[in-house]
């Protein structure tokens, strides 16, 4: 019988819908500042999201499409670092400004987890500064046991390294952890670490194959706000569009 003792959250697309109107916009602002005349469109960025990590995404684009101006091989690494540093600063400004609202139900779910005595963590490949801004400013009243972000691990999702690190940091067993993810790479990473997974879809991931997740909903839902839709799993749940921590604890205890 499993006993959930922690809830671990991905950041982008789970806590905040950051991809389309956050990361993509920040990348495009950065490209313009650096004098490049291309932009990543909404659909194009969806394809690029299959590559985990912002620096990795830019390298892939440079190697496959080019930046519209020659980049010497010996200058590539430094250019990517400078682009990513500026992009991150712009992205952090967006988060701090409150321009990117929390996804429905996310803060309520965290508060319920706190009230239940569960540990709360963030496991993201997003930049560490962005994660720190989110957890210490926007969600400053939530007690986070761990915040693992950026280059703290060498291998990005779908590799389970970041979730294995969370296990090492918390001393918990895989079956004591519930992960909230939104993408196929994230779901695969958490499942490879042996954890339970609830996937919350967003416009970028709603058509991805997330069937490895134990439960799939469109969002966690709020009693007085947007309700979610159950897309997979949840057998026996008294689901009313709002996914609750106590429901999940009981649900996974029976598995």
Q: Which of 243, 250, 210, 247 shows the shortest CA–CA distance to 226?
A: 243
CATH code of 19-97, in short, is 1.10.150.240
CATH topology of domain 6-17+102-253: Rossmann fold (3.40.50)
Reported as a single tens digit per residue, the pLDDT across 100-110 is: 889 999 999 99
pLDDT value for 255: 83
Residues 24-72: tens digit of each pLDDT? 999 999 999 999 999 999 999 989 988 888 999 999 999 999 999 999 9
**pTM across the whole model:** 0.86
Residues forming the active site: 10, 12
- Residue ranges of the chain that CATH labels 1.10.150.240: 19-97
DSSP state at residue 102: B
| Maximal C-alpha separation, the chain | 59
Structural tokens at position 95: 């988060």
SS3 138: helix
Give the number of other CB atoms < 10 A from CB of residue 3: 11
The pLDDT of residue 1: 63
Q: Which pairs with CB-CB distance under 8 Å and at least 24 residues apart come from 27-30?
A: 27/54, 27/58, 27/87, 29/87, 29/90, 30/83, 30/86, 30/87, 30/90
User: Residue 200: beta bridge partners?
Assistant: 217
pLDDT for the residue numbered 53: 83
Low-confidence residues of the chain, pLDDT below 70?
1
Q: Where in the chain is the domain with CATH 3.40.50.1000?
A: 6-17+102-253
Q: What are the tens digits of pLDDT across the range 40-50? A: 999 999 899 88
């Amino acid at each position: 019988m499993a006993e959930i003792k922690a809830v671990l959250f991905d950041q982008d697309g789970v806590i905040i819908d950051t991809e389309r109107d956050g990361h993509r916009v920040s990348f495009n602002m950065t490209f313009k500042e650096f004098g490049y005349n291309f932009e990543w469109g909404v659909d194009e960025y969806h394809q690029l999201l299959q590559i985990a990590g912002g620096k990795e995404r830019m390298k892939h684009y440079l190697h496959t499409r080019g930046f519209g101006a020659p980049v010497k091989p010996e200058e590539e690494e430094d250019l990517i670092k400078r682009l990513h540093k500026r992009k991150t600063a712009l992205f952090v400004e967006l988060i701090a400004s409150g321009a990117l609202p929390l996804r429905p139900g996310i803060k309520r779910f965290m508060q319920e987890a706190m009230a239940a005595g569960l540990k709360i963590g963030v496991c993201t490949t997003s930049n560490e500064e962005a994660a720190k801004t989110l957890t210490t400013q926007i969600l400053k009243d939530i007690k986070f046991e761990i915040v693992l972000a950026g280059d703290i691990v060498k291998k990005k999702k779908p590799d389970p390294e970041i979730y294995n690190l969370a296990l090492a940091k918390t001393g918990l067993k895989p079956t004591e952890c519930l992960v909230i993810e939104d993408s196929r790479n994230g779901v695969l990473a958490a499942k490879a670490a042996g954890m339970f997974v609830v996937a919350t879809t967003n416009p970028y991931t709603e058509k991805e194959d997330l069937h490895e997740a134990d439960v799939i909903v469109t969002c966690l839902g709020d009693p007085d706000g947007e309700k979610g839709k159950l897309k997979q799993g949840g057998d026996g749940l008294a689901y009313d569009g709002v996914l609750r921590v106590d429901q999940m604890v009981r649900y996974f205890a029976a598995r």
